[in-house]
Structure 1
Amino acid sequence: MALLQSNPVDVIVQKHLEKGLLGVGVAVVKDGKVVHLKTYGKGATPNNDGHYRLASITKQFTAGVIVRLVREKKFAYEDTLGKLIPDTPVAWHSVTLRQLLTHTSGIPSYTDSKKFAFVMQKPVSPDGIWQFVKDDKMDFAPGSKYNYNNTAYALLGCLIERTTKKGYYDALDSYLLRPAGMKSTGSEKRFKVVESFGENGKPSFQMNMDWPYSAGALVTTLGDMTRWDIALRGNKLFTEAEKQLMFNPDPTTVKLKEPYGFGWHPNYENGKIFSYSHTGGIPGFSTVIERAVSGTTVIVLANHEHEARGPLSNAVMEHYNPKPPAPVVEDTMPDLTAKHREMFSNLLKGKVNEADFSPEFLKQVPSTILISTSKKFAEMGELKEFVVLKSEGTTDVRRAYRVSLGDTKMTLSIVVQNGLIVGMFIR
């Protein structure tokens, strides 16, 4: 049955449902008022009160409790892991609290381990998560690189428990959820989530939710996420200085050209921060929250592992808060542009030339993942535009392209080192 297309958000969502998205909830908050809140497709509820896994959006809640504990002088951002959790491996002891928060610790992330697939359905304790990789080598010297890290946020959860003498979810409730009026957010052991689906549209693979823990295990409703956004607008939870620290990129991550705050990514338009956001992906669910500096927030909680979350969120944000068009820059490396366009065009056709990518990138994102992800974008329409928005460097190159697939415009960012793609992101 077709949706009643009573407003522009319904129209936007309908397009994605027609292209294969099975279920999603969308909320919009503008200047502190909820202007849209609705669930669609499979898993939709009459009162729009179904529970969704937040996945990595959980990290901003974990970081928020840490910020509050720093305010109470329980510890400081420059305190080391050797002081905070002394039973961790000695090789980790020089890592600071700030580096855990900003993914610059160098500690191995348990979700990157080849062993993880064999244990992810088994129960585990909070300490058992970081102990799973305690014998693995450090990925890099603390503070020297950026690498998204779930072990780091599991350690933050353990630190919260040890400091407050409460379980992680109880501490979250005391410091953030209850003051924000979020009565329907917490552990999946307390709240049952809606029916969810994997990439192939079949019931999703189930992992033991002990593992995501403070890096990704929170469940919530659309309504509670609007309450979170509204609470962040005032000073009920955080001071203005604390919010600046959380949202704005840490100086080390800026230097590393991987800007990240405490559980938030800044998004730039024409050289200025346009919004702060975070995404999440976990079996059965894909999520995003984006808070524009102008006062509009878009929340997308999909109960389907589907790449529509980004384009859908972008389209809704564009409706309520149009972005100024990014200026096209002079293309000083047209051969590289042509190579990247060919690479992207081939991905949309389900083809991967592994020679275009570094071995490290393919280890993180295998060809099969590249193809399955690109297939979702191919469903949006023909590749009509591929132009350079930003280009930095000559040997180590960072480029941003505006790509148009059908009526959808997105930004494709590519990082090249020694002629090979080492990073790629589209939003």
Structure 2
Amino acid sequence: MSPRPYGQSRRIRRLLRLAAATAVCGALLGASVLPAQAADRNPPPDRAAFLRQELRELVERPDGPPGVIAVLRDGDRTEVYRAGVADVDGGRPPGATDHMRIASVAKAFSGAVALSLVDRGRLSLDATIGEVLPGQPYRWHKVTLRQLLNHTSGLPDYSASPGFLDIVSADPRHHFDSRHLLDFVADEDLAFRPGSRYQYSNSDNIAVALMAEATTGRRYETLLRELVYRPLGLTATSLPQGYRLPEPYLHGYQIDPQAGPVDVSEAVSASGAWAAGGIVSTPQDLTAFIRGYVGGALVSDRTRRQQFRFIPGALSQPPGPGRTSAGLAVYRYATRCGTVYGHTGNTPGYTQLAAATADGRRSLTFSLTTQTSLTDNPGLLERVREVQEDFVCALLRG
């Protein structure tokens, strides 16, 4: 069924508002999950055919995405697996150079900026909000950069605040002042004593970007270009403020049982996500990023040792394959075949995983063109995690 254009009917508008209000940047509070139980089978005789079949089965599900693309990279060797379509109307297959919203994988980019500044001596992991951002609420002043990067800050999540949700519900394309997103929770106390527990919060990465700006006097978008895009050769990655996507792009869909796939690619303004989830990239660029980021191309071994201190059981959102632990803007995914490191994300129309081995040599990006999370189609998420683990096994077993 062809997708209905944005705003064609009241019913579709309600669907878009619901998607935007419930899952901007993939925010989930206090969620927990057991690891997906994938079968410990022997490698199939034809690995490529097996992986392609798994992707076909995903898009053939009634609740499945119209399209999915996975990129495996081992050294200089690249394998691209895809199923379904990038655009229900046009019918073309998903491509590695198609643009897409990477959702909370953007948090790894803000981590890359912050850790690069730490490596250069411009910031300290123990620097506090009070020292760098004295204009933020006094109750938050003892929170450190380290605690923001591993989500132990206790900052209330602006994207779950009634004021923010009311605006997004009324107008998903509303243009926010990204540097004032924390104002939505400025009158709230910390959820807990900083450093005492883990709780995923989109506010953390907004504060990280603001600290980077304050300490350098440069805009966050400029820092991304200078510290991340340019060193890693990312030519198709950007942080927009509006709702438009550059062509060509993977169309993202909300799957409605009665209306079919509803195109929500440009339903929501990126300004309400900013450093927490607003980046647009491609599978090709995302592959280059995660290989460099996890592999240590941007920071020294000294800084990486700090980054790779993990909190067991702390989840990315949505959960990735295997068992998850949280480091500084990076997660460890321990699967039945071995361990990879990276980040996940979900936002209306998209679900993402980007991961690599610790040396950055082997990597996987896995992109769906519909949203799934612990609260939004958890049945699909469970199956996606199983398939992601099979792709990790293919990556690690070569």
Report 1:150-299 matches (<5 A): 150-188=202-240, 191-192=245-246, 193-200=249-256, 201-204=261-264, 206-232=267-293, 236-249=297-310, 259-268=325-334, 274-293=339-358, 296-299=362-365
Residue 236 of structure 1: CA displacement?
Answer: 3.7
Deviation track 1:233-264 (CA, whole Å, cap 9, x = no partner) reads: 6654222232333234169979xx98411111
Using the TM superposition, name which of 113-122 and 56-65 deviates more: 113-122
Residue 301 of structure 1: CA displacement?
Answer: 1.5
Q: Which amino acid letter does the alignment assign opposite residue 108 of structure 1?
A: P
Q: Which amino acid letter does the alignment assign opposite residue 202 of structure 1?
A: V
> Do the aligned partners of 2:100 and 2:282 also contact (CA within 8 Å) in 1?
yes
Deviation track 1:155-179 (CA, whole Å, cap 9, x = no partner) reads: 1111222233332222111001111
Q: Check 1:82–1:109 CA distance in 2 against 1; reply closer, same or farther (3 A cut).
A: same
Q: Which amino acid letter does the alignment assign opposite residue 67 of structure 1?
A: L
> Do the aligned partners of 2:56 and 2:84 also contact (CA within 8 Å) in 1?
no
**Residues in 2 aligned to 1:74 and 1:233: alpha-carbon distance in whole angstroms:** 21
Q: Check 1:64–1:124 CA distance in 2 against 1; reply closer, same or farther (3 A cut).
A: same
**TM-score, with normalisation over the residues of structure 2?**
0.71
1:131 aligns with 2:213: no
Q: 1:85 aligns with which of 96, 111, 133?
A: 133
SS at match of 1:73: coil
> Do the aligned partners of 2:122 and 2:216 also contact (CA within 8 Å) in 1?
no
**Residues in 2 aligned to 1:216 and 1:98: alpha-carbon distance in whole angstroms:** 19
**Residues in 2 aligned to 1:146 and 1:258: alpha-carbon distance in whole angstroms:** 13
**Residues in 1 aligned to 2:313 and 2:294: alpha-carbon distance in whole angstroms:** 26
Deviation track 1:347-384 (CA, whole Å, cap 9, x = no partner) reads: xxxxxxxxxxxxxxxxxxxxxxxxxxxxxxxxxxxxxx
CA RMSD of superposed structures (Å):
3.0
Using the TM superposition, name which of 259-268 and 93-102 deviates more: 259-268
5+ residue gaps, structure 1, are 324-427
| Structure ID, larger Rg | 1
Q: Percent identity?
A: 23
Match of 1:313 in 2: 388
> Do the aligned partners of 1:58 and 1:215 also contact (CA within 8 Å) in 2?
yes
Q: Check 1:191–1:18 CA distance in 2 against 1; reply closer, same or farther (3 A cut).
A: closer
Q: Check 1:116–1:235 CA distance in 2 against 1; reply closer, same or farther (3 A cut).
A: closer
Residue 152 of structure 1: CA displacement?
Answer: 1.0
Match of 2:106 in 1: 58
Q: Check 1:309–1:46 CA distance in 2 against 1; reply closer, same or farther (3 A cut).
A: closer
**Residues in 1 aligned to 2:330 and 2:119: alpha-carbon distance in whole angstroms:** 19
More strand by share: 1
Deviation track 1:297-322 (CA, whole Å, cap 9, x = no partner) reads: 22111221143542332221223335
SS at match of 1:119: helix
The number of equivalent residue pairs is 315
> Do the aligned partners of 1:246 and 1:262 also contact (CA within 8 Å) in 2?
yes
Using the TM superposition, name which of 286-295 and 67-76 deviates more: 286-295
Q: Which amino acid letter does the alignment assign opposite residue 289 of structure 1?
A: A
Residue 123 of structure 1: CA displacement?
Answer: 1.8
**Residues in 1 aligned to 2:110 and 2:176: alpha-carbon distance in whole angstroms:** 19
5+ residue gaps, structure 2, are 1-46, 87-91, 316-322, 373-380
Q: Which amino acid letter does the alignment assign opposite residue 333 of structure 2?
A: N
Q: Check 1:39–1:140 CA distance in 2 against 1; reply closer, same or farther (3 A cut).
A: same
1:141 aligns with 2:193: yes
Report 1:398-413 matches (<5 A): none
**TM-score, with normalisation over the residues of structure 1?**
0.67
Q: Check 1:82–1:195 CA distance in 2 against 1; reply closer, same or farther (3 A cut).
A: same
Q: Check 1:118–1:46 CA distance in 2 against 1; reply closer, same or farther (3 A cut).
A: closer
